[in-house]
Amino acid sequence: MKDENVKNHYLWDGSGEPDPETQRLEKLLGRYRHREGAEPDWSGVQPPLVAMPRLPRQSRGWRWLAAAAVLVALVGAGVWLTMRPEESWWQVVHVEGAPQMGDEAVDSTAALAPDQWLETDSNSRARLESLIGAVDIEPNTRLRLLRAGVTEHRLEMQRGTIHATIYAPARQFFVETPSATAVDLGCMYTLEVADSGAGRVEVTAGWVAFEMNGRESFIPAGAQCETRPEVGPGTPCFTDASENFKGALVRLDFEKLAPAERDGALKTILVEARPRDAFSLWHLLNRVDPVERPQVYDRLAQLAPPPDGVTRDAVLRGDRQALDLWWDALGHGDASWFRFWKRDLPQQTP
């Protein structure tokens, strides 16, 4: 009868039958293997988030070996990351045309240093790559790196279009625009900024928070949000909402309307709203005038009845606990999670 423990000899001298989970762990940690004269390959590493593989029952006696290997990798990565200079965090990769970094054209790759501007003309594209993700830069875009480190990465975007894919934990990647700060909550999104400073974000995965001076919008995958200088972010909505609904939100959020025009825009929003659009009406509760708030409350209550403990009076006076409880009932996650990641956000001057 074959000794069932023979396969475990593979851990010591490479003999015997390797366990599939052991092979998978070897592949996972193989990038950290020492190579004489070579720099470590940190591409794709997500230092804050490393999952411990679940070993099969017959291999659990070796769990401490796997845990030790992961711990060594984490400690090594952590020490190396904290010692990295800011200019080594983000690499500019040439994609098309002649992107400019300062006064020099980028024809292959180059490190982007803090306060250094990166600009693409109408025929250029570039890509920013880092351990925490990547940012694809479309033509006619101007941005710079403000700072980079273990706990925070911050860009300033003056104009143009970017597509961000971020792997870092929530609230580590920020993009400042003239009218709002986009706070990554673990996601993929497209951010556009016009020459006027007006902006728009559309989220394809995860969440983005748009914030300026206490005015905030939480934008989930499949949704978008406009923003304007001196106003900040508008009311987010799903991209598949009706054009009438989206257009009325923009008018109500940003345009100076006569009373009759404003009343017409609000009525359009309330009539066009679907159950899925309850999340927009929740945001709108604190955007409209107090005299308009009852109309928004009544329509929201039709689409998504308030949970126990949430009263009409509490919502109409803007009670935060009542509003958060109603948000929780909408099925978009716990409001306390958003409050946690929002805390201590820097205030932006319009």
User: Which of 66-70, 86-90, 123-127, 346-350 holds the top average pLDDT?
Assistant: 123-127
Q: What is the pLDDT of residues 48-102, one digit of tens each?
A: 433 333 444 444 444 455 455 544 444 444 443 444 445 568 999 999 999 998 8
The Cα angle at residue 62 between residues 59 and 68, in degrees rounded to 5: 140
Least trusted range by pLDDT, from 127-141, 280-294, 321-335: 321-335
Mean pLDDT of 285-296: 95
Q: What percent of the chain has pLDDT over 90?
A: 55
- For residue 27, the model assigns a pLDDT of 52
Supply the DSSP symbol for 168.
S
When pLDDT is cut at 50, 70 and 90, the band that residue 171 belongs to is confident
Distance, in Å, from the CA atom of 157 to the CA atom of 117, rounded to the nearest integer, reads 10
The Cα angle at residue 262 between residues 261 and 267, in degrees rounded to 5: 100
Mean pLDDT of 273-278: 96
Comparing CA positions, the residue from 186, 222, 217 lying closest to residue 199 is 217
- For residue 168, the model assigns a pLDDT of 82
- Give yes or no for residue 296 having a pLDDT over 80: yes
- For residue 56, the model assigns a pLDDT of 44
Q: Measured in whole angstroms, how far is the alpha carbon of residue 112 from the centre of its chain?
A: 21
- For residue 90, the model assigns a pLDDT of 92
Mean pLDDT of 280-291: 94
Q: How far is CA 242 from CA 9, 43, 67, 83, 252, in A?
A: 64, 42, 52, 50, 16
- Give yes or no for residue 128 having a pLDDT over 60: yes
Q: Residue 261: which H helix or E strand, with range?
A: helix 259-272
Average pLDDT over the chain, rounded to whole? Answer: 80
- Give yes or no for residue 132 having a pLDDT over 80: yes
Q: What is the pLDDT of residues 145-162, one digit of tens each?
A: 998 888 899 999 999 999
- Give yes or no for residue 321 having a pLDDT over 50: yes
**More reliable by pLDDT, 349 or 29:** 29
Q: What percent of the chain has pLDDT over 70?
A: 70
- Give yes or no for residue 182 having a pLDDT over 60: yes
**Domain range list for the chain:** 6-82
pTM across the whole model: 0.71
